[in-house]
Structure 1
């Protein structure tokens, strides 16, 4: 599967109850993330992939879309149904989608 064939979905098309997988690093996640998202940094995805549901569409985010595209490609090649969220968490924040942070600070994209 080439990078050009990675499925992409607009941030506004991610359903409220969708499975969101955030592949950013711990500090990025702590600053602000989608409520209920699953956090597995990209580098740990091979060892933690079993935590990602196989029976539902998975919406993958990072900061702007590069790391999440890599994750989507790997997941889809391994049998998941995953799509890259266009623009990542930057687009999520710009679209006004709900965000939370660790520690109660105002959530933002780091």
Structure 2
């Protein structure tokens, strides 16, 4: 499983958040693309339109399990994808910004 540490991500790196709507609404990384794992197959076209054509896709969820599933699927499709180790829990613990859609400080559920 290709993985990346939260501390190795830079501002502007493409981030795909596959958590469910309630988790996203509580707080997420600014600029992330949100497609819940439960909707990923149906919304795959939306992902391909937004994903970088020649860059890496960093996939994140709460702790790393769901994002690992999506990462493996993307790798099988020939996409350069990595699982963010520890997910949003580690993201938040590392002091990275977590916001709501309104731009207010958020939290990880």
Q: Which residue of 1 aligns with 2:67?
A: 68
Can you give the 5+ residue segments of structure 1 that lack an aligned partner in the other structure?
A: 1-5
Equivalent of 1:34, from 29, 45, 65? 29
SS of residue matched to 2:41: helix
Can you give the 5+ residue segments of structure 2 that lack an aligned partner in the other structure?
A: none
Q: Which residue of 2 aligns with 1:3?
A: none
1:84-109 per-residue CA deviation (whole Å, 9 max, x = no partner) reads: 00000000000011111134553100
Asked if the contact 1:58–1:82 (Cα under 8 Å) also holds between the matched residues in 2, the reply is yes
Q: Matches of residues 1-110 of structure 1 in structure 2 within 5 Å?
A: 6-52=1-47, 53-55=51-53, 56-103=55-102, 106-110=105-109
Asked if the contact 1:54–1:81 (Cα under 8 Å) also holds between the matched residues in 2, the reply is no
Asked if the contact 2:14–2:52 (Cα under 8 Å) also holds between the matched residues in 1, the reply is no
What displacement does 1:51 show? 2.4
SS of residue matched to 1:102: coil
Which stretch shifts more, 57-66 or 97-106? 97-106
Count of aligned pairs: 105
Asked if the contact 2:27–2:100 (Cα under 8 Å) also holds between the matched residues in 1, the reply is yes
Asked if the contact 1:72–1:84 (Cα under 8 Å) also holds between the matched residues in 2, the reply is yes
- Please give the root-mean-square deviation of Cα atoms over the aligned residues, in Å: 1.3
Q: TM-score, normalised by structure 1?
A: 0.89
